[in-house]
Amino acid sequence: MMQDLLILGIESSCDETAAAVVKGGRTVLSNVISSQIDIHTLYGGVVPEIASRKHTERINQVIRQALQEADVTLSDIDAIAVTYGPGLVGALLVGVAEAKALSFATGIDLIGVHHIEGHISANYIEHTELEPPFMSLVVSGGHTHLVNVPAYGEYEILGRTRDDAAGEAFDKVARAIGLGYPGGPKIDLAAREGNPDAIAFPRAHVDASAYDFSFSGLKSAVLNYLNGCEMKGETISVPDVAASFQKAVVDVLVTNSMMACEEHSCKKFALAGGVASNSALRHAMEEACRERGIDFYVPSPVFCTDNAAMIAVAGYYEYQKGIRSDLTLNAVPNLPLGER
Ligand code: KG4
Ligand code: ZN
């Protein structure tokens, strides 16, 4: 029975070592995440070499714990879904090698999963009624993709960032105003005390492609503002800068997303990725959807940032379509969405 299908998900594309067991594609039996944030904070960002080493140290224990918490053993698992791209190649390789070794030793089916497909699929976990077609915005540390999802496992990219990803912009601005790494959650928190209309930062729209994003101009505008204040001997209000920057990002994300929904007559919208845990973005997008009669979906914050439950869910729908990977599966750091 497909409803009873048990998938072990493995995720190691960046700085989280994660494993999860998901039943029937939607029920999370366990979701173990070992974050390396403490170590990378010392360096102000993710150090790829350290990330790979930490994944290697932790992955066996994380998988063991995921099986234990789900109260299953490897012999109960029907398929192993692993992120094989995009991401840091050395980090991805740890998960891929682990999944291949487990599959080889046990004969369990192997499914390579696209990380972004995982982020979008995180929406299926708590919204059991959600089914394609829908529109999705994936905003993470490495990606900003506006994606039309006509059917399970099918993705049509309408827009993407021309330069920095949304999460990357949060991280860089946070560093510039002294909030440190990881920037997103810290800006989110600081912005709650600030005035989002205090500073008029630019809303960049890319002329050639209406759905594309650009955040490097906004980042430069923040840096220029900070330099200007320093030269004039003015002290900055960190909450005001955080709130004004955040609003500029949120405005553009909401505008492009709603334009995509309207032009594609789409009545369902699903937000995804680490930046989807941003409280201002969740609130503004929900409001914009409500005004237009569009059903709004977003995962709980724990399923927005990197986790393996979302990889297991994406793997379930690939499995149902008959997709299997063999032992030649390799890490692909720049894997395009929607291709195998
Ligand atoms: O999806 P994710 O965990 O990893 C990638 O696939 O990149 O996203 C991480 C990104 C980081 O840039 C982090 O600063 C951002 O998501 N982020 C947030 C928030 N929580 C995480 N950005 C804004 N507000 C948040 N609350
Ligand atoms: Zn991610």
State the Cα–Cα distance between residues 82 and 313, nearest whole angstrom: 11
116-130, pLDDT tens digit by residue?
Answer: 999 999 999 999 999
- Nearest C-alpha to atom 7 of ligand 1 is from which residue? 141
Position 336 in a domain? no
Q: How far is the CA of 73 from the centre of ligand 1 (A)?
A: 32
- Looking up residue 90, the CATH number of its domain turns out to be 3.30.420.40
Do 148 and 294 fall within a single domain?
A: yes
Q: Tell me the sheet residues that pair with 81.
A: 9, 111
Residue 90, ligand 1, Cβ within 6 A: no
State the Cα–Cα distance between residues 251 and 205, nearest whole angstrom: 11
Count of domains for the chain: 2
Do 73 and 169 fall within a single domain?
A: no
Closest CA relative to residue 330, chosen from 94, 54, 14: 94
Position 37 in a domain? yes
Position 328 in a domain? no
Do 100 and 176 fall within a single domain?
A: no
Residue 118, ligand 1, Cβ within 6 A: no
- Answer yes or no: are the C-beta atoms of 32 and 65 closer than 8 Å: yes
Do 162 and 17 fall within a single domain?
A: no
Position 127 in a domain? no
Residue 142, ligand 1, Cβ within 6 A: yes
11-52, pLDDT tens digit by residue?
Answer: 999 999 999 999 999 999 999 999 998 899 888 888 999 999
Do 202 and 265 fall within a single domain?
A: yes
Position 223 in a domain? yes
Closest CA relative to residue 135, chosen from 114, 113, 155: 155
Residue 84, ligand 1, Cβ within 6 A: no
Do 187 and 276 fall within a single domain?
A: yes
Burial classification of residue 265, based on how many CB atoms lie within 10 Å of its CB (0-12 exposed, 13-18 middle, 19 or more buried): exposed
132-147, pLDDT tens digit by residue?
Answer: 999 999 999 999 999 9
Do 311 and 291 fall within a single domain?
A: no
Do 287 and 312 fall within a single domain?
A: no
Average confidence (pLDDT) over 110-116:
98
What residue type is assigned to position 283 of the chain? Answer: H
What residue type is assigned to position 4 of the chain? Answer: D
Q: What is the pTM of this model?
A: 0.96
Do 275 and 211 fall within a single domain?
A: yes
State the residue for tokens 């909030």.
179
Do 288 and 201 fall within a single domain?
A: yes
Structural domain including 201 reads 132-300
Do 140 and 289 fall within a single domain?
A: yes
Do 115 and 246 fall within a single domain?
A: no
State the Cα–Cα distance between residues 194 and 198, nearest whole angstrom: 8
- Answer yes or no: are the C-beta atoms of 86 and 13 closer than 8 Å: yes
- Answer yes or no: are the C-beta atoms of 313 and 119 closer than 8 Å: no
Cis ω before 133 (30° cut-off from 0)? yes
